A = this chain, B = another copy of it.
Amino acid sequence: MTILAPTTHETRLLAQGLTLPTVAPTPIGAFRNLRRSGRRVYVSGQGPVTADGTFLRGKVGADVTTAEAREHARLVALNILSVLREEFGTLDAVGGLIKLVGLVNAVPDYEEHPQIIDGASEIMHQVFGEAGIHARTSYGVGSLPNRITVEIDAIFELAPGV
């Protein structure tokens, strides 16, 4: 007889072949990556920074395509998850995702922001399943720190007992 372990966020992450950075990005200023308040966790705006510290830069609609920026949004989502795992030791400390705010560093006539931020939303659904269903606001900003292409912040609920 095979006993199946319950599906957890960490097992779903593995099953999807997703890998998180072992160290969360360093905050670029006088703030923390994460602030807990009661049952909620506010994650600071994260960017597309690679494991070696490289910022993915450019203006979407000019230097960077929608498809490229969508990949950047996936990287940002993984960085957000790495912040949670670094703080709590495991993604299974997360009860659910409440909201994402997705910012795209785009030219003034850009229109496809949702397609980019979907890259992050889809990662959240893959990892958290039903608990990944979230509210979202996406828009184009005038500029971003270090001229990165995408910045995303998030609000999560904690799992019971955490």
Residues of A within 8 A of B (CB): 27-35, 37-40, 42-45, 59, 96, 98-101, 103-115, 117-118, 121-122, 125, 133-147, 151, 153, 155, 157
| Known contacts A29-B117, A59-B108, A145-B114: A139-B45 contact under CB 8 Å | yes
Partner pick for A135 among B31, B38, B137, B140, CB 8 A cutoff: B31
> B residues within 8 A CB of A111?
143-147
Q: In the complex the two chains form, is A137's CB within 8 Å of B151's CB?
A: yes
CB nearest to A29 among chain B residues: B114
> B residues within 8 A CB of A139?
45, 103, 141-145, 151
Q: In the complex the two chains form, is A32's CB within 8 Å of B140's CB?
A: no
State A38–B44 Cα separation when bound (angstroms).
21
> B residues within 8 A CB of A104?
143
Partner pick for A100 among B31, B39, B147, CB 8 A cutoff: B31
